[in-house]
Structure 1
Amino acid sequence: MLCCCCAKGFQQQAIKHDEQTAKALNKKAYDIRLTDPKKTVAIGKQAHEIATELNLTKEIAEANRVIGIGFYYLTEKDSALNRYLLAMKQFQYIHDELGEAKVLNNIGNLWTEIDYDVTLGYYQKALKIAKKYNKKDLIAGSYMNIGNTYYRKKQYNTALKYFELSNRVFTEIDNPVGTTLSLQNMGVIHYHLNNLEQSEKLLLDAHEKAKKHELNNTIAGMNMTLASIYMKKNNFKKAEEYIKEGIALSKLTSDQKKTYDLTFISYKLEEKRKNYKKALYYLREINILDSINYTKTITSNINLIQETIKQQQTQKENELTIQAQRNAKNLSLAIGSVAILCFFVIFLLVKTNRKSKTSNEKLTILNEEVIRQKNNVDRINHQLEELIAERTKDLIIKNQKLSEYSSHLSHQIRGPVATLKGLMMLVEDKLVESAEVAPQIKKCVDDIDEQIMGINEALHDSSRKGLS
């Protein structure tokens, strides 16, 4: 039988082991985010379970952040946002600013396809904290995220400057994954600046490093640019090799967007080869994937916006509750003050033996004042309850309209848009004359215009509950 000291020491060792296990699982989940995001979520949940059992707030927060990253790569943005907000709250509770900065970067990633200014705001806040603590890996990651945002804004020279900064810092701290991503980003920028030789050199270097670390999602992304480079050089065989590898890896990582983009490049390749039969096959695949990806992206973005509105509404309700509690506290102080005054007055009245009539009148006035103040507080609380109910009702209506808008947009507008794209491609490929398809194009445009006018009218008519 173990003595008390030995038993205690054994228990502490077991707890330490489990704490290290939680940290190791969080790191493993994060490291495979670009290879298998589904496993990132699963392993992150294991880390969360262990950390929760041991009440390790920092590891709980990191597990939530890592799970959110997994959901982000699976394009489940609303689920990612929920995990990020939980992580942010937990990091703030333990005053971990570096943890907060990481979450700020993650939340910024969610908004890259919705609002560039919002995205940059999150990244700049994260960079400020990272510089405050001279956290090199976080500084480099923030530089890269800012560069990606400027790339999306097509400000290529500004983007290149931030990618070069991130590469310099990642190289300094010997972070091979970060260096690989920076090289890829610089290669993409040089491609858009038409520096094909420099772009090819950077991307091949990044490709070799990515394979070494099994960064499947990253390889699929850089393969798109490499294929485009070789198509411009008329090296069709090389382009086809990178396309096939990219599609296989994007399917392996369940990245439907990259699968779509690589399929589109396949179409452009076969079109350039003048292999129109095969090009038409890829065109059909594109239309199918386009409809799926468009619906999923729109739904994901709307869910993100809805979740943000919900969080803002919850915050407002909490603020109203806090204000109500403050009002109640002030009332309690006022009532206490009045009560003390009442006792003091009674004491003086008894001591000085004043007329009972005067004493009763003063007590009555004081009691009426207390009653009046209590009634005022009841009225304020009632008004606050009505306000919360009204805002909640308004939010429900808006959410319903947004959901209907998403469904309507997906099923009603995508049809004419897909038809229009197909017609335009036929015209561009000179398979038909413009005059032959002009009536069909006009009909598609009229259909889209009619649907948009109907949606716009429904969304701005507060008396209507739906789009019908």
Structure 2
Amino acid sequence: MKKYLIFIFCTLFACFAYADDTKAIGKDTSSVIELNTQGFKMRLTSPEQTIADATKALDIATKIGYKRGMAESNRVIGVGYYYMDQSVKAIHNYLTALNYFIELKDLAGEGRVYNNIGNLYRNTDYDLSLEFLNKTLVILKKLNDKPITAGVYNNIGTVYYHKNSFYQALNYYNKSYDLFTELKDSVNIVQLMENKGVIYFNLHQYDKAETLLLKANKEARQLDLNETVASIDLTLAELYTAQNRFVDAEKIIEEGVVFAGMIKSDKIKSDFEYTSYQMELKRKNYEKALGYLRHIYAQDSVTFKQGTSVQIKMMEEQVKQQARQKENEILVQRQDNDRIRFWAVAVVAGLLLMLVGLLISNVKRKAKTNEQLTELNAEVSRQKDNLDRINHHLEEIIDERTKDLQIKNKKLSEYSSYLSHQIRGPIATLKGLMNLEKEGLVDQPECIKMMNKCVGEIDNKIIEMSDMLHDPVKTSL
């Protein structure tokens, strides 16, 4: 009787302890959600803060085993890296988040990640971008999620803008704008005004473009959207240059460079330099234009190398993530086996308790009970041996598939590095020199020397590409 009372007391104590732990976990879960929400809101103002907040959330979620929080934290970290132009880190976090959401069977989470990945590729690989964005739309039809739908429409519009399908882009932007207006999402409304202004600028409807862009600029400042302000200033500078409003263009460029520095975006700074080159060329300040052009050429050479490297690493990351996904599937299977073992052990423990009770009431059955326990332990050992053999076989399968993926990854790396624009920098320089030569304001021998240098660089790149495409032995430039 005394033993039974002790057992009941321990059980009640464990229940109270579990209740306290549940309260603590609930509090930590709320912290994870709050940090992720806070970080996501900072993406247009301070992407570094976005990464910092989401990383804290990830640490807490990992500590308490909150997988949904781990998934969303990885996604928000990826968003932060996207706005810092660090595509390789962004794709790594996106794919990690995607694996968690798939494991949790969270369609809404999958849709958000597919949208993020499509957005990541929208400036570099239009077909791949549309593939991911359309995956998102398929999921959204099941969920009727208006906020994500509005974001996807915006991203699809941007893809069509880059494909120079301006009216098609405007159609998607209008759909997105209507949904965000209905949702009263001021941040995304500002971005849609900017996007529509860019379209009208490309359609040479300058009055509409300027009205939208100035309104978007004003509201973006009020919301502290530094990245959006810099982007709007870039389009306004191009618009003022097209209208020969050079004083306005200079002011807006100066402002935009400041905001680009605040968000630490080298890409936007480079875009402002190119806009300055176009402005000085149109003003016939050829000396300044040539200076900008030389700097742009040097930057483009570095950017091309970095861009090619980023594309290769992104492809490598996708292949690695596929391998990790296979490993996760095997890990899930192992966890299922562990759960089976756990319940088997729990059943054995229950039987042992029953046997102890029987021993207290009937000493004569002791021998028979011990024999049963021995048989059960032997069966558990055999099951453990069988599971060990199965796990060993699964590890061999993982090794074989990993080797196969590494071979495929190497082949992908050989061909993906040639998908970018190999000779953009030299051609841009050559066109600039040709413009200066037409005006007759550049020293002809120096111009011919620089043009020969550009032609030589183009010729060398073409020869290198030809050698690589016809020599399967080579693996990289």
TM-score class, shorter-chain normalisation, is 0.7 to 0.9
Partner Cα distance (2:274, 2:425) in 1: 19
Counterpart-to-counterpart distance in 2, 1:139 and 1:100? 13
Matched, 1:33 2:33: no
* CA distance 1:465–1:177, shift in 2 (3 Å): closer
- Contact 1:92 1:100 survives alignment (8 Å): yes
Residue of structure 2 equivalent to 1:196: 206
- Counterpart check, 1:263 vs 2:273: yes
Among 216, 227, 230, the residue aligned to 2:226:
216
TM-score between the two structures when normalised by the length of structure 1: 0.76
2:346 corresponding residue in structure 1: none
Equivalent residues of 2:297, 2:429 under 8 A apart: no
Deviation at 1:236, TM superposition (A): 2.2
User: How big is the shift at 1:183?
Assistant: 0.7
CA-to-aligned-CA distance 1:296-327 (integer Å, 9 cap, x gap): 222212211222344456678999999xxxxx
Hey, what does 1:233 align to over in structure 2? Answer: 243
- Structure 2 residue aligned with 1:392: 406
Give 1:158 deviation, angstroms: 0.4
- The residue aligned with 2:309 is 299
SS across alignment from 2:122: coil
Shift of 1:415: 7.5
User: What is the 5 A alignment of 1:153-192?
Assistant: 153-192=163-202
User: For the Cα contact (< 8 Å) 1:61–1:88, is it kept in 2?
Assistant: yes
- Native 8 Å contact 2:311 2:416 kept in 1: no
Select 1:96's aligned residue among 99, 102, 106. 106
For 1:251-273, what per-residue CA distance to the aligned partner results, in whole angstroms no more than 9, with x for missing partners?
Answer: 21121111111112122223333
Q: What is the identity, as a one-letter code, of the residue corresponding to 2:309?
A: T
- Give percent identity, aligned residues only: 38
Q: Does 1:106 align with 2:112?
A: no
Q: Following the alignment from structure 2 to structure 1, what is the Cα–Cα distance between the partners of residues 418 and 153?
A: 36
- Tell me which of 424, 434, 437 is aligned to 2:434: 424
Within 1, Cα distance between the matches of 2:326 and 2:62?
Answer: 29
Contact 2:312-2:417 within 8 A present in 1 as well: no
The match for 1:282 is 292
Mapped pair 1:21 → 2:31: yes
> In the superposition, relative to structure 1, how do residues 54 and 160 fare at CA in structure 2: closer, same or farther (>3 Å)?
same
- TM-score if structure 2 supplies the norm length? 0.74
Secondary structure, counterpart of 1:113 in structure 2: coil
Give the Cα–Cα distance (whole angstroms) in 1 for the partners of residues 329 and 70 of structure 2: 26
Partner SS for 2:436: helix
| Aligned twin of 1:65 | 75
Q: Does 1:124 align with 2:138?
A: no
The whole-number CA distance in structure 2 between the counterparts of 1:202 and 1:194 is: 14
Partners of 2:473 and 2:330 lie apart in 1 by: 27
Whether the 8 Å CA contact 1:68–1:79 is kept in 2: the answer is yes
* Per-residue CA distance 1:18-71 (angstroms, 9 max, x = gap): 222111110111111122222222221111001111221111100000111112
> Any unmatched runs of 5+ in structure 2?
1-11, 333-394
**CA deviation profile, 1:170-194 (whole Å, cap 9, x unmatched):** 0001000111111110110011111
Question: Alignment length, in residue pairs?
Answer: 403
Determine the C-alpha separation between the residues in 2 that align with 1:76 and 1:183. Answer: 26
Measure the CA separation in 2 of the matches of 1:136 and 1:249: 31
Taking a change above 3 Å as real, the CA distance of residues 70 and 429 of structure 1, as seen in their structure-2 partners, is farther
Residue segments in structure 1 that go unaligned for 5+ positions in a row: 323-380
Question: Among 145, 152, 159, which residue is 1:149 paired with?
Answer: 159
User: Corresponding residue for 1:272?
Assistant: 282
Equivalents in 2 of 1:229, 1:295: separation in Å? 30
Evaluate the alpha carbon distance shift between residue 267 and residue 463 of structure 1 in structure 2; reply closer, same or farther with a 3 A threshold: closer
- Distance in 1, matches of 2:327 and 2:40, equals 35
Counterpart AA for 1:109: N
Structure 1 residues 260 and 168: CA distance shift in structure 2, 3 A:
same
Tell me the alpha carbon deviations over residues 268-305 of structure 1, each in whole angstroms, 9 at most, x when there is no partner.
22333344444344334323433333332222122112
Equivalent residue letter for 1:103: V
2:85 is aligned to: 75
Does the CA contact (< 8 Å) of 1:140 and 1:169 recur in 2? yes
Distance 1:38 1:292, change over 3 A: farther
Distance, in Å, in 1 between the alignment partners of 2:30 and 2:68 is 12
Distance 1:382 1:19 in 2: 38
Equivalent residues of 2:327, 2:398 under 8 A apart = no
**Once the two structures are superposed, what CA deviation does each residue of 1:220-244 show, in whole Å capped at 9, x if it has no partner?**
1111111222223333222222111
Q: Cα offset for 1:414? A: 7.6
Partner Cα distance (2:65, 2:327) in 1: 29
Give yes or no for contact 1:302–1:406 (8 Å, CA) kept in 2: no
Letter in 1 for 2:68: K
Greater shift, 28-37 or 95-104, is seen at 28-37
In structure 2, the residue matched to 1:449 is: 459
One-letter code of the match for 2:128? V
